[in-house]
């Protein structure tokens, strides 16, 4: 678990500085030497980033661009900032990307808007221009915990990095926003009502509705590609000791995400139901292009807490299949809008370092 703690603390903020004109000149690696033999669904894997911690890469609606978060102290990016880049379409083509967040505070969970001209992301920059402090885990028995910075709010910016609108404005944690397929609604996570819950906001009017009401962490939510369903990760403390620990951490704006399962519901939050029951951390779930099957990351096979690999499953919890085979970390899977490619973050090919990079691959059934 100690190695898992270090690994995840490097790449994940959830519920993670430089010049906004900075451009990468990294060349993509196009070779299936990046693919393990058992990874039969992944073909023509390409490495897009090289060095630092690069994660949560998500497609634009037209499938031409990716937005992702990156930190790399060697480049002066001391905590996660948001970058966008054009997806390579030819062999050997460079993945050029630029910073589109302010370079201040910490940012996370970016997503393109439907018009392709803006992104949303969460940032702490209004609270402070500095990177917020990382929790001292020794106070909690070195347990893996995530900070829920109350200075996080969600913003909309154009592709030159200019903030055009502040979408949330509470004194609590507001982050983990994604947008519906029709571009009209945003689902996000907030602690403003005293627990870690999901809310859906109408982007045109700002009107919103809380859609979860059960004690525990609810976050990382997505609409299905057809817009009829929701999927997210959730913890559900049940015993007296689990509930006490959860509430005690929450009072300090912290959460321990080591026991999470995949949940789904109708698009309005009704008929919520649990899909997985594997124990440990089952998270970063999204619906696959058919809006019926699910892909997610999990460490449930390994009691020591790592590696994390990608799995697919039916939405009724049947037919679990292991997709990736890296011995470190594979997570944040997301299919392209046309369903032909998948993007994910991985420790593979990092030269024995703890770097996490962004990869894309062709998907084969």
Which of 211, 205, 208, 324 lies closest to 267, judged by CA?
211
Q: Which string of b and e fits 265-291 if b means at least 16 CB within 10 Å?
A: bebebeebeebbebebbbbbbbbbbeb
**297-319: per-residue pLDDT in tens?**
999 999 888 899 999 999 999 99
Contact of 193 with 202, CB cutoff 8 Å: no
Look at 86-100, 200-214, 227-241 and tell me which has the smallest mean pLDDT. Answer: 86-100
Instruction: Note the pLDDT of residue 31.
Output: 53
Residue position matching structure tokens 């200019």: 162
Domains and CATH numbers, the chain: 2-363 (2.120.10.30)
Instruction: Note the pLDDT of residue 327.
Output: 92
Q: Which residue would you say has higher pLDDT here, 24 or 154?
A: 154
- 2: confidence class by pLDDT, cuts 50, 70, 90: very low
Task: Enter the pTM of the model.
Answer: 0.91
Contact of 305 with 297, CB cutoff 8 Å: no
pLDDT surpassing 50 at residue 328: yes
Which of 64, 124, 137 lies closest to 360, judged by CA?
64
Question: Per-residue pLDDT averaged across 192-210, rounded?
Answer: 98
Question: Per-residue pLDDT averaged across 140-151, rounded?
Answer: 93
**30-88: per-residue pLDDT in tens?**
457 899 999 999 999 999 999 999 999 999 999 999 999 999 999 999 999 999 999 99
């Amino acid at each position: 678990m100690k190695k898992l703690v270090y690994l995840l603390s490097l790449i994940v903020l959830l519920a993670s500085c430089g010049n906004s004109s900075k451009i990468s000149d990294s060349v993509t690696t196009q070779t299936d030497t990046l693919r393990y033999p058992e990874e039969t669904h992944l073909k023509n894997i390409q490495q897009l980033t090289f060095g630092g911690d690069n994660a949560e890469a998500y497609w634009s609606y037209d499938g031409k661009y990716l937005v992702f978060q990156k930190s790399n102290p060697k480049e002066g990016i001391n905590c996660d900032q948001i970058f966008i880049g054009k997806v390579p379409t030819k062999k050997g083509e460079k993945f050029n990307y630029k910073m589109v967040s302010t370079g201040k505070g910490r940012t996370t969970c970016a997503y393109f808007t439907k018009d392709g001209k803006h992104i949303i992301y969460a940032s702490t920059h209004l609270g402070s221009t500095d990177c917020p402090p990382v929790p001292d885990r020794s106070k909690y028995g070195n347990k893996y915990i995530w900070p829920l910075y109350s200075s996080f709010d969600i913003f909309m910016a154009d592709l030159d990095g200019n903030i055009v609108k502040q979408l949330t404005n509470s004194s609590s944690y507001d982050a983990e926003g994604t947008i519906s397929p029709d571009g009209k609604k945003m689902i996000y996570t907030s602690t403003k009502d005293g627990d870690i819950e999901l809310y859906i906001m109408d982007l045109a009017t700002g009107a919103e509705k809380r859609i979860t009401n059960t004690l525990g962490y609810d976050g990382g939510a997505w609409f299905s590609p057809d817009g009829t369903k929701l999927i997210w990760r959730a913890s559900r403390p049940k015993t007296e000791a689990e509930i006490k620990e959860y509430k005690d951490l929450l009072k300090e704006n912290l959460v321990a995400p080591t026991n999470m399962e995949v949940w789904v519901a109708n698009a309005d939050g009704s008929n919520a139901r649990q899909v997985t029951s594997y124990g440990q951390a089952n998270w970063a779930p999204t619906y696959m292009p058919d809006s019926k099957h699910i892909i997610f990351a999990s460490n449930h096979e390994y009691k020591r807490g790592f590696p994390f690999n990608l799995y697919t499953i039916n939405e009724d919890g049947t037919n679990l299949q292991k997709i990736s085979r890296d011995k470190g970390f594979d997570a944040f899977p997301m299919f392209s809008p046309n369903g032909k490619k998948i993007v994910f973050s991985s420790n593979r090919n990092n030269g024995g370092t703890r770097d996490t990079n962004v990869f894309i691959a062709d998907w084969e059934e």
